[in-house]
Structure 1
Amino acid sequence: MRDIVRAAVADEAPLLIEGAGSKRGLGKPSGGLANARRLSLAECRGVTLYEPEELVLSARAGTPIAEIEALLAAHRQRLEFEPMDLGPLYGEAPGLGTIGGVLACNLAGPRRIARGAARDHVLGVTAVSGRGEVFRAGGRVVKNVTGYDLSKGLAGSFGTLAVMTSIIMKVMPDVEAEATLVLRGLADDAAAGAMAAAMGSSAEVSGAAHLPYAVAARVAEGSLGRESATLIRIEGFGPSVEARAAHLSAGLSRVGRLERLEGEASRALWRDVRDVRPFADGTDKPVWRLSVAPTRGHELVMDLRMAAAIDAFYDWQGGLVWLRMEAGQPEADLVRQALGRHGGGHATLIRASEVARANVPVFEPQADALARLSKRLKDQFDPAGILNPGRMG
């Protein structure tokens, strides 16, 4: 890998880095780069260390997440940050995403509100910088970092700082039981209040999402029907889950009609929420990922509904809004202006046509001071600018 990067530096050739290519549609398109070379990590795969009793796993960057999760499941363990599988959103088969891609994009699922993002679970990385230098950051234990934690700094960099070749993650024991309380028929504002109450309770909720009526029919193979569904997940030791669910149900039952899902039915539902399956429709209709204060998400959506044809659902207690633009145009100015009117946040264009992605800011524009800091960091790691140039706009 080092020799490939050094050759690209010598030839001033851009390197387009990817694992299985399942998230190729995320970020600015790479077409039109002269002399560009594609660097695939698909063959850089395999678990190199797994110590279940130490809760640590090391894998090469191109190792499929599905392979890692199967190994962990055999030992009743899991990746606590619930990694997303965005492949189907781009028309790809499920299960192609790699551990390197998940960390490079810092992708986490519904459990993010309780357990943190991908970056919070990485212990160390081995990588090749844009200078062609191999470096290691972190290690096999948590208390091994002094100063800037490079392994976390690479999370969310989309391969623009270094080519990660090996990753060490902390893993956690799987839960014994899982239950999802489903409130039916709530409007978005009432659902926001119910989710806030559940998250503020002693029930130790690990997931809170709201699917408006049209969206609810597009998860769990349609088993929820078209009525809106507000989802509250509780996980843990069996008797504890039962007690917490009973306590929370007593309060939520006063808000709306309550149903309950358990086991695989609950897990399948949350996988669909995690992977944005309601919008995995085989089209390139623009899909936005909006990060906003949980109490403002439903207000933002209502504002946008007055100005454009949209479809939306909520995760992370309403703080994560998934938005599909039904007319086929990203309408980036409209989205970001509305975000500013409702307390600010971040808007990322997760899916759109290549033409659309080439002509609008895909990622939230940085403030000047942060942009200067990002440039200095890029100049240190990749002074020739060959790693995924332009991917982040």
Structure 2
Amino acid sequence: MRPESEADLAEAVAGAQGPLAIRGGGTRGGAVPGEVLETGGLSGITLYEPGALTLVARAGTPLAEIEAALSAEGQRLAFEPMDHRVLLGGTGAPTVGGVVAANVSGPRRIQAGAARDFCLGVRFVDGRGIVVKNGGRVMKNVTGYDLVKLMAGSRGTLGVLSEVSLKVLPAPEAAASLAVPVATPAEAVAVMSAALGSPFDVNGAAYRPEAGCVVLRIEGFDGSVGYRAERLAALFAGRGAEIDRADVGETWRALRDVAALKDHPLVWKLSMAPRDMVPALLEPAAREMGFDYQLDWGGGLCWLGMTVAQLDACAAHFGTGDPRATAVAVHRGLQERMVAPDAATRLRGHATLVKAPEPVATQVPRFQPEPAALAALTAALRQRFDPRGILNPGLMA
């Protein structure tokens, strides 16, 4: 089904006789059972006021269309949504509704905030086919319950977005990247922490192990960027830091889209406190299983990937002999350690399976299982918004 209006969308949901698989641009995978309900027919920018820094668009509007309109006015989406097609090999077109529904946020999140922080209002159809509106089209709108942030990240399990209102920001005049050589992931986290704690307004801090360096980003007015980049380089002068002002966009697009792991059939996204990431996760993982990885958000986000050869070696090491069974065991082990009852072995974070062959993806939960108390709240919310349980059933639970 591909409704062409909000009324058609409400009618389609209300008349559904079974589960619905909600699809925006079809770029992120994670298929669920049910009749496909595409939002691509709900397309178009309905309001854009550059002076008020606000934009309203129907949920199926291609992200490229929105970025082009903003670029023409010297503005942008500050939360820097990644393009999953690079990592997952998809062929669809990302939509603004999909970005909000999945709360897709890139490297700048650590300084600017996530997608949900830029959502001013939403319109959506709940599981009964009722149109719900929350928030507004201006920044000073705080009336009622904050369903806007509830919908951001719910991935279509509470309602199908039909329209979103976003706050936008001016694009910077200039940008610079700083490459700081490091020898170990522990050094990388230390360098990123020092940079983010400096007064130089760093808005990107990532670690590329294959390049052996931390990459830092500064944006703003040209003179300010030049000054801050020089001062930041002086802070890491003993490490041979180098400033790059020519390929900043290309460098950070590759980091944003996790291009380094695009050929890995298994990829996880893990969120943890930076101080715990290396000793609790990376060092044991590298020692026992030989993962490849990339750190972002100052070390709080880890993209973890395994090649076919690494998976085979891991299967041989643990004596399973079956790479698929090994992949399932590794995934379950990661998620179980995040909530382990023993404080000494608990990782205290979230593990999400982003990419996997279909035989693996269908055997395990992609998202981190919730603690019992939180799971009860989640179930109650779903019962309220989708009493029939037809919207993306099983996707996040």
Pairing partner for 1:17 from 9, 17, 22: 22
CA contact (8 A) 1:124 1:167 kept: yes
For residue 382 of structure 2, what is the amino acid of its counterpart?
A: K
Cα distance in structure 2, aligned partners of 1:50 and 1:346 = 36
Moved >6 Å (runs of 4+): none
Q: Which secondary structure state, in structure 2, belongs to the residue aligned with residue 120 of structure 1?
A: helix
Aligned to 1:41: 39
1:232 and 2:236 are equivalent in the alignment: no
Aligned identity (percent) is 45
Structure 2's unaligned 5+ residue stretches are 1-5, 312-322
1:351 and 2:348 are equivalent in the alignment: no
Aligned to 2:293: 312
What is the CA-CA distance between 1:338 and the residue it aligns to? 5.0
The number of residues matched between the two structures is 368
Cα distance in structure 2, aligned partners of 1:41 and 1:133 = 16
Deviations, residues 68-126 of structure 1 (Å, cap 9, x unaligned): 11111111101010011112222124x82110001110010000000110000000011
1:175 and 2:180 are equivalent in the alignment: no
1:275 and 2:257 are equivalent in the alignment: yes
Cα distance in structure 2, aligned partners of 1:52 and 1:59 = 14
Aligned to 2:277: 297
Pairing partner for 2:365 from 353, 361, 368: 361
Q: Which secondary structure state, in structure 2, belongs to the residue aligned with residue 344 of structure 1?
A: coil
Cα distance in structure 2, aligned partners of 1:389 and 1:191 = 40
Q: Which secondary structure state, in structure 1, belongs to the residue aligned with residue 275 of structure 2?
A: coil
Change (3 A) 1:250 1:369: same
Cα distance in structure 2, aligned partners of 1:366 and 1:140 = 33
Structure 1's unaligned 5+ residue stretches are 217-227
Cα distance in structure 2, aligned partners of 1:350 and 1:11 = 29
1:374 and 2:378 are equivalent in the alignment: yes
CA contact (8 A) 1:107 1:117 kept: yes
CA contact (8 A) 2:182 2:188 kept: no
Cα distance in structure 2, aligned partners of 1:320 and 1:4 = 36
Cα distance in structure 2, aligned partners of 1:173 and 1:350 = 31
Q: Normalising by structure 2, report the TM-score.
A: 0.89
CA contact (8 A) 1:12 1:384 kept: no
Report 1:212-231 matches (<5 A).
212-213=209-210, 216=211, 228-231=212-215
For residue 348 of structure 2, what is the amino acid of its counterpart?
A: G
- Which one has more relative contact order, counting CA pairs under 8 Å at least 6 apart? 1
Cα distance in structure 2, aligned partners of 1:106 and 1:125 = 13
Cα distance in structure 2, aligned partners of 1:182 and 1:124 = 39
For residue 250 of structure 2, what is the amino acid of its counterpart?
A: A
Report 1:1-393 matches (<5 A).
1-23=6-28, 25-26=29-30, 29-30=31-32, 33=33, 36-93=34-91, 96-213=93-210, 216=211, 228-254=212-238, 256-263=239-246, 265-281=247-263, 285-299=265-279, 300-326=281-307, 327=311, 329-330=327-328, 331-339=330-338, 341=345, 343-393=347-397
Higher mean displacement: 237-246 or 104-113: 237-246
CA contact (8 A) 1:50 1:58 kept: yes
RMSD: 1.7
Q: Which secondary structure state, in structure 2, belongs to the residue aligned with residue 151 of structure 1?
A: helix
CA contact (8 A) 1:114 1:207 kept: yes
Q: Which secondary structure state, in structure 2, belongs to the residue aligned with residue 359 of structure 1?
A: coil
CA contact (8 A) 2:13 2:128 kept: no
Cα distance in structure 1, aligned partners of 2:12 and 2:95 = 25
Higher mean displacement: 66-75 or 114-123: 66-75
Change (3 A) 1:311 1:338: farther
Aligned to 1:221: none
